[in-house]
Structure 1
């Protein structure tokens, strides 16, 4: 039986993706921090897909030690599909015990560590990695500050202060695209592919639970008109399973169509510098 892994799978888009994978006959590992929500998601998915093995991994992806241990356990299982979906918009003063901004650790460093660890373990079967990113158009104005990955200076994050966590989040979503390109280059010629996907602005998730002030009002207004999680899960799920995506790697998709991302995300020197800095932060060689 083919095994799939979905992070951020206890609610929202992640749970919808996991449900879709189980409905296609894949065993699924659900990864998220909250054990109670994970168990509820497992029961829900198992009820919809009898006979499918649905497992849970209660891991705080902002904790790189926990993520490293998770990567080791998953590598032993050799999953064929991994969807990196977990993300958070964290206040700028929300720091992990290691001193990392929670958005940076959860949204970028965790998938970097997890997918790179899996990619470096040889597999006899084709594998698909999918990284859920952000809007290529909307993120053109928030290039990654390679001198301040950890958002310690607040430089360039905008005004009023309540929107700065969203700008920092946007930078991590640009990091996702850059990571896809860097990893795809290293996987060229192998049977493992990696692509990015923007799910769109959707309602029904918990991404905005820390929003305050202007950002909270803005998010509430958008949520009134946004489609639900099934729409948001469509493109990542398609990339993970569709025959049309066989052998396709190093691209970014919106509504199942490959689209360009900003020049600052594709510049080879910037992509490689982010790779090196990320390796240093997670304790790997570049």
Structure 2
């Protein structure tokens, strides 16, 4: 690591896994930038990190990753300072299927996929000629193997998403997590094709972790399922969930490694529907259209 490391940006870092990732990187001497939707929660997370790591250098940026205008403004602010060396996309939510943002985009799709897509793509040019690591926090590739992305219905307007209405936000969430893996593969390939070798991009599953707040708005059968799951066994906490994403951010063992998906620090395969080049290209092009970007880097 350089004597004066460039910042690590961690989205969704006001609690849970994101805060644990930021705290770990701060303890390694890395300046960190917390990104969240609430000034109050950002300030509280910053205080907790400073309490644990008094010498930490912690900045905050308020942005709602489900709003593309706020993502663009965030990217501009980040590029206007010292360009980050690490960008970890951890923010995620599970919104009702019918809920859309003021920009007219289904909120789960916007926050979990389009926001990270726009943020990371917007930082490529400011990082030109520098090294950087992009890490996208996904979900269990085994569990998601049966949830292929419907490329004709990214906003979940026509899919039934299963027979139990209260489970449908979970199914939509699962599809966006498969989009995360497809984005990793698509971006890694395009960076390589463009000769941009200094930026790597990898995905990670943090594990089934308690205290993430992901399902805090769940209702009905989904709430019951999550409650029962939370009471079974002893699920690990956010510090365990932070391990693989933080390791990908700082370990020399993955220098130059790109386009892979990791579970417990091991590269693992994901479902064929997430690696199929034609499918990844379709998702990439539609994501470009929805975020107002050209398809080419």
1:107 deviates by: 0.2
Identify the residue that residue 206 of structure 2 maps to in structure 1: 199
Give 5+ residue unaligned stretches, structure 2. none
| Runs of 4+ deviating beyond 6 Å | none
Contact 1:126/1:192 (8 A) holds in 2: yes
Write the mapping of 1:50-69 to structure 2, written as runs, cut at 5 A.
50-69=54-73
1:154 deviates by: 2.8
Identify the residue that residue 35 of structure 1 maps to in structure 2: 39
How many residues matched? 285
Report the Cα distance in structure 1 between the residues aligned to 2:211 and 2:16, rounded to whole angstroms: 6
Report the Cα distance in structure 2 between the residues aligned to 1:154 and 1:117, rounded to whole angstroms: 31
Report the Cα distance in structure 2 between the residues aligned to 1:275 and 1:121, rounded to whole angstroms: 21
1:34 deviates by: 1.6
Write the mapping of 1:61-80 to structure 2, written as runs, cut at 5 A.
61-76=65-80, 77-80=82-85
TM-score (norm 1): 0.97
Report the Cα distance in structure 2 between the residues aligned to 1:111 and 1:236, rounded to whole angstroms: 15
Identify the residue that residue 262 of structure 2 maps to in structure 1: 253
Identify the residue that residue 124 of structure 2 maps to in structure 1: 119
Report the Cα distance in structure 2 between the residues aligned to 1:245 and 1:74, rounded to whole angstroms: 25
Report the Cα distance in structure 1 between the residues aligned to 2:268 and 2:159, rounded to whole angstroms: 30
- Computed over aligned residues only, the root mean square deviation of the Cα atoms, in angstroms, reads 1.0
Q: Does 1:110 align with 2:119?
A: no
1:123 deviates by: 3.5
Contact 2:83/2:127 (8 A) holds in 1: no
Give 2:9's match in structure 1, choosing from 1, 5, 9. 5
Q: Does 1:90 align with 2:95?
A: yes
Report the Cα distance in structure 2 between the residues aligned to 1:18 and 1:107, rounded to whole angstroms: 19
Report the Cα distance in structure 2 between the residues aligned to 1:75 and 1:245, rounded to whole angstroms: 25
Report the Cα distance in structure 1 between the residues aligned to 2:261 and 2:73, rounded to whole angstroms: 29
Identify the residue that residue 284 of structure 1 maps to in structure 2: 293
Contact 2:134/2:201 (8 A) holds in 1: yes
Deviations 1:197-251 (A, max 9, x none): 0011100111001111111111112222321111111110111111101110000
1:196 deviates by: 0.1
SS at match of 1:61: coil
Report the Cα distance in structure 2 between the residues aligned to 1:68 and 1:79, rounded to whole angstroms: 15
Report the Cα distance in structure 1 between the residues aligned to 2:128 and 2:277, rounded to whole angstroms: 27
Report the Cα distance in structure 2 between the residues aligned to 1:166 and 1:125, rounded to whole angstroms: 38
Write the mapping of 1:104-253 to structure 2, written as runs, cut at 5 A.
104-155=109-160, 157-188=161-192, 189=195, 190-224=197-231, 225=233, 226-253=235-262
The answer to which of 23-32 and 48-57 deviates more is: 48-57
Deviations 1:38-81 (A, max 9, x none): 10001111222233321111111111100111011112231001
Contact 1:78/1:123 (8 A) holds in 2: no
